[in-house]
Amino acid sequence: MDERNQEGGRNCLPAANTPHFPECGPADRMFAVVYLLVGYGFIHICSSWNFERNLAVFTICYAVVVLAYLWGKKIRPARESWFWLAVMLAMGLPYAFWSVLYVLQVWTLIAVAAYWTLSASGRLIGSGRTSDWVLFDGCNAMIVVPFSNFGCQVRVLWSCTMQEGDQKKMGKAGAILLGIVIVLPALLIILPLLVRADAGFQHLMSGLTEYMTDHLLVTFLRICFAVPTGFYLFGLVFGGIHGENTGHFREETLAEKRKSVRKVPDTAVCTALVIICLVYCLFIGLQGNYLFSAFAGVIPETFTYAEYARRGFFELCQIGAWNLLFVACAGTFSRSDGREHKGLGFLTGCLSVLTFLLLATAVSKMGMYISVYGLTVLRILPLVFMLWMGLVFVCILVHQKKEFPMVRFCVMAGAVMFCLLCILPVEHWTELYNVWARARGLIV
């Protein structure tokens, strides 16, 4: 039996990508309506004041609705999904009080919410867990599943397992609701013209016209955006629960594709890595005194602390990111695996060590700058990013000798670090530290 079925209690559910529309029950119809309200709620918080507070409230409501839908279908959320639920709440709830990431935190929250929804329904590619295919899982959660099931909400509402009499009643109710929606823009055009045409009618309708102009028009515009938003959100959770259009990426197919792209000769990959490593060795050899003087707390004579810290800091961060890409490409496109080909594994390890050394010099330079001028948010964020990259390269070195789910560990570690930046009042703590250090003469 499928492991997802054993953990999630989904024996009665159809397999992914069934050719027919799945059988739906009262829970599906009820939550199809609820998700219309959820879509409206999301648009409302994006177009109203107190966005920060409303986003935190919406995060809680979204989590409750998804869990209620799962439990309504007698599906037990996958174990790992509780971790991603905690990550989602850790990103969304503190936003009501403080944030140092602003827009990035909102977009990351949206991505994590989609990923958690797919994780909770047990539809991640790697046996319901975060795996090497995390990018494909993210693509599934953000794009493939919600848009492939974009029209499921309409089908559930109007034609899913209802008796013929119920269909007629729902059809009449739907027709009435559709007529109300259609007439709203017409009234918004006609009523202002009638008000200007007659003074008596103007006196009678003045309050109503003002209300329609100020409130109904805004509500109508919100509904126009809320409907497709509800379709998107319901398509994601419905697809995860019923396995609709969740099998576009299959683990076996992806594993074969990964084997098929291993076409670059090992000699060519090793040659490229040797050249890159030699360039870094030459750079470190020529600039050793300049790079490593920060470890001793000494700056070059011609530099100030600010110039020394900023010179090359962001360039070294970019080098670390590029080297991470180089290592990934070497492991993906070379004919042999790094653990099987000793030369390839050795060169990957050398590149990781050199990158870790360059990152350490950048951190030491920033640390010296902070020890003189104090903390700021813009100094903390790149340090956290470099700490995560350093952890990734350490994992690459360990992975050369020991098999473990490296991608899963690195992704989760990055999520925890990001959550700490969201949860902790970083800006407030930096101000407290600067006041304390300045009072004791530790910083300028």
Structure tokens at 410: 């690195």
pLDDT band at residue 206 under the 50/70/90 scheme: low
In the predicted model, what is the mean pLDDT of residues 302-315? 70
Q: Within 10 A of 211 (CB to CB), how many other CB atoms are there?
A: 11
Q: From CA 97, how far away is CA 114, in angstroms rounded? A: 23
pLDDT at 85 over 90: yes
Give the global pTM: 0.83
Cα(239)–Cα(197) distance, integer angstroms: 53
Residues 387-430: tens digit of each pLDDT: 999 999 999 999 888 888 999 999 999 999 999 999 999 999 99
For position 42, what pLDDT does the model report?
94
Count other C-beta atoms under 10 Å from residue 287's C-beta: 12
**pLDDT at residue 7, as a whole number:** 40
Please tell me the predicted confidence (pLDDT) of residue 179.
72
Q: Which of 88, 97, 28, 79 is nearest to 58 (CA)?
A: 88
Question: For residues 245 and 145, is the Cβ–Cβ distance under 8 A?
Answer: yes
Query: What is the average pLDDT across 127-131?
Result: 87
Residue 141, pLDDT > 90, answer yes
Per-chain mean pLDDT for the chain: 83
pLDDT at 301: 67
Point out the least confidently predicted range of 3-17, 104-118, 226-240, 323-337. Answer: 3-17
Running DSSP on this structure, what letter comes out for residue 214? I
Average pLDDT over every residue of 227-237: 94
- Cα 418 to chain center, whole Å? 11
What mean pLDDT do residues 332-360 have?
87
Q: What confidence tens digit (pLDDT) does each residue in 243-278 have?
A: 888 888 888 888 888 888 888 998 999 999 999 999
Q: Which residues have CB under 8 Å from 57's CB, separation 6+?
A: 45, 96
Locate all alpha helices (DSSP H) within 295-341, ordered by sequence: 305-310, 313-333
Distance of alpha carbon 288 from alpha carbon 113, whole angstroms: 45
Exposed, middle or buried, 69 (CB in 10 Å: 0-12/13-18/19+)? buried
Question: Looking at residue 181, what is its pLDDT?
Answer: 66
Tokens of 215: 């409130």
Nearest Cα residue to 317 out of 224, 229, 375, 387: 387
Q: Say what the pLDDT of residue 363 is.
A: 85
Q: pLDDT-derived band of residue 225, with 50, 70 and 90 as boundaries?
A: very high
Is the per-residue pLDDT at 305 higher than 80? no
pLDDT value at position 133? 92
Which stretches of 198-216 are DSSP H helices? 199-211
User: Is residue 351 predicted with pLDDT exceeding 60?
Assistant: yes
Separation CA 208–CA 213 (nearest Å):
8
Answer whether residue 280 shows pLDDT above 50.
Answer: yes
With tokens 């600067």, the residue in question is 434
Q: Cβ of 50: how many Cβ atoms within 10 Å?
A: 11
- Residue entry with tokens 């994780």: 119
* Contact by Cβ (8 Å): 386, 317: yes
CB-based contact 113:58 (threshold 8 Å) = no
Determine the pLDDT at residue 162: 47
Q: What is the pLDDT of residues 37-66, one digit of tens each?
A: 999 999 999 888 889 999 999 999 999 999
> By three-state DSSP, how is residue 13 classified?
coil
pLDDT for 128 equals 81
- Least confident range from 62-66, 144-148, 331-335, 431-435: namely 331-335
- Bridge partners, 334 (sequence order): 264
pLDDT tier at 379, thresholds 50, 70, 90: confident
Q: Of 338 and 93, which is predicted with more confidence?
A: 93
**In terms of DSSP H, where are the helices of 374-405?**
377-401
pLDDT at 26: 84
Q: State yes or no: pLDDT of 209 exceeds 80.
A: no
Which residue would you say has higher pLDDT here, 348 or 301?
348
pLDDT at residue 173 is higher than 60: no
Q: What's the number of CA atoms in the CB half-sphere (13 Å) around residue 17?
A: 7
pLDDT (mean) for 114-125: 94
Six token digits for residue 189: 């055009």
| C-alpha span between 235 and 35 (Å, rounded) | 10
